[in-house]
Structure 1
Amino acid sequence: METARRFTDRTEAGERLAKALSKREIDADIVLAIPRGGLPLGRAVADALDAPLDVVVAKKIGAPGNPEYAIGAVASDGSVWRNEQAFHGTGSDEEYFERQREEEAANARRKADRYRGGRLEPDLTGNTVVVVDDGVATGSTVRACLEKLKGEDADRLVLAVPVGPPDTIDELADEIDEVVCLETPAAFRGVGQFYENFEQVTDEEAMTYLET
């Protein structure tokens, strides 16, 4: 069985993603990175494609008593994706989910505003939008971001990630115009296993990638 190639770090993964996008002749009008880990890749992709870089932000909605276990995610505008199996399997109810949705949407808005530093959210009307992250596992955060972007009249919506499990990537490919994923290993335990350097990116470091 073919083994997935590991990435040196997020910047190298972004450079490889940019080459794959160029090979497919995807001409991005704007690149949107998902903070925090998506920004080093987003910077490399945006520079290579000569496109502006901005962010799209979502927050996970954790299960009752287990906030690290995502039962869904919500974007900064309130667009939500819910994992129905996880929702029902953790004893969640609609009241809990709605309360968490409102709280995490507000957190996502604050984060987006902080990252933009007073800049307006970009108008995506008629644009080819490339969304970049450092990888997907369940894809809850990515799905919430995509739900937000589907309502913004972009002409084409492309997700570009270095690595993800085959089933998640296939599901995402059914939801938007195109998915570019460099590695889809069957033996997938987590995104970090496919990087030699997968140190956590701080907010402060991530925001430097937005500086032009």
Structure 2
Amino acid sequence: MVAIFENRVDAGRRLGEAVRALLGEVDAADGAVVLGLPRGGVPVARQVADVVGAPLDVLAVRKLGGPRHPEFAIGAIGEGGVRLVDDDAVRHMRLGGGELERVEAAARIELARLLARYRGGRPALDLAGRRAIIVDDGVATGASATVACRAARLLGAGEVVLAVPIAPYGWEQKLAGEADAFVALATPRDFWAVGRWYVDFDQTTADEVISALDR
């Protein structure tokens, strides 16, 4: 399969144009805030924010991994106390309530640490009544996107737009109700993984996230 995007910067520029076309050139930045999901979504969001002409902030979401198998996702958490737990995964791993609480507590400590590092002491942008344009480098399962949309609403966003360069076919139906509008540049049926659609999909570093937010 031929890659569609050269890298996250290329994907972000093209996604920004699509977001601006959807919302209208004049209206796109009206009361809007672009929110990048770290780490890989932030470089994409930087480009979207530049094209749309809106401020950029980070919206952190953290996976909840099983205590004995951290790579196995049992849910996710986000800012504002938002949480999403996969009950089937919890039962499959035979986790007790105490174990789940400990996993979530550790994840929230790490979430707070990352936000402090990324924002460098700056307060989060106020989302009250504003249009939140949530950006990631792609959607796979949709768990992180779901938590991010719910977090933005909990933080007061009046409208939520979920924008990604690549997503699996039918993603809007799977995430129906989580966002008010969806933007994806491509939705292949043979999706498989986000990274296969990029020529360069190297891991984004924390320093790159900070640089994109500081610009």
Normalising by structure 2, what TM-score? 0.91
Q: Distance in 2 between matches of 1:193 and 1:88?
A: 32
* Alignment of 1:110 onto 2:113: yes
Partner of 1:74: 77
- The residue type equivalent to 2:150 in the other structure is E
Which of 137, 151, 155 aligns to 1:152? It is 155
Which of 7, 10, 22 aligns to 2:8? It is 10
Between 1:21-30 and 1:126-135, the stretch displaced more is 21-30
Which of 204, 207, 211 aligns to 1:204? It is 207
Change beyond 3 A, Cα 1:169–1:63: farther
- Residue 39 (structure 1) shift: 1.1
- The residue type equivalent to 2:10 in the other structure is E
- Residue 134 (structure 1) shift: 0.4
- Write the deviation string for residues 98-151 of structure 1: whole angstroms up to 9, x where unpaired: 221121012111111111111111111111110101011112222222221121
Q: Distance in 2 between matches of 1:66 and 1:184?
A: 31
Instruction: Give the match's secondary structure for 1:109.
Output: helix
Which of 8, 20, 24 aligns to 2:22? It is 24
Partner of 2:179: 176
**Would you say how many aligned residue pairs link Structure 1 and Structure 2?**
210
Instruction: Give the match's secondary structure for 1:210.
Output: helix
Instruction: Give the match's secondary structure for 1:68.
Output: coil
- The residue type equivalent to 2:182 in the other structure is V
**Structure 1 segments unaligned to the other structure (5+ residues):** none
- Residue 177 (structure 1) shift: 0.7
Partner of 2:144: 141
CA RMSD of aligned residues (A): 1.7
Between 1:124-133 and 1:68-77, the stretch displaced more is 68-77
Change beyond 3 A, Cα 1:129–1:70: same
Q: Distance in 1 between matches of 2:168 and 2:100?
A: 27
- Write the deviation string for residues 54-96 of structure 1: whole angstroms up to 9, x where unpaired: 1000110012311011111111332101223322222223322
Identity %: 38
Change beyond 3 A, Cα 1:21–1:121: same
- The residue type equivalent to 2:41 in the other structure is G
Indicate if the aligned counterparts of 2:35 and 2:45 stay in contact, CA closer than 8 A.
yes
Between 1:126-135 and 1:20-29, the stretch displaced more is 20-29
Indicate if the aligned counterparts of 2:150 and 2:178 stay in contact, CA closer than 8 A.
no
Partner of 1:53: 56
Q: Distance in 2 between matches of 1:168 and 1:95?
A: 34
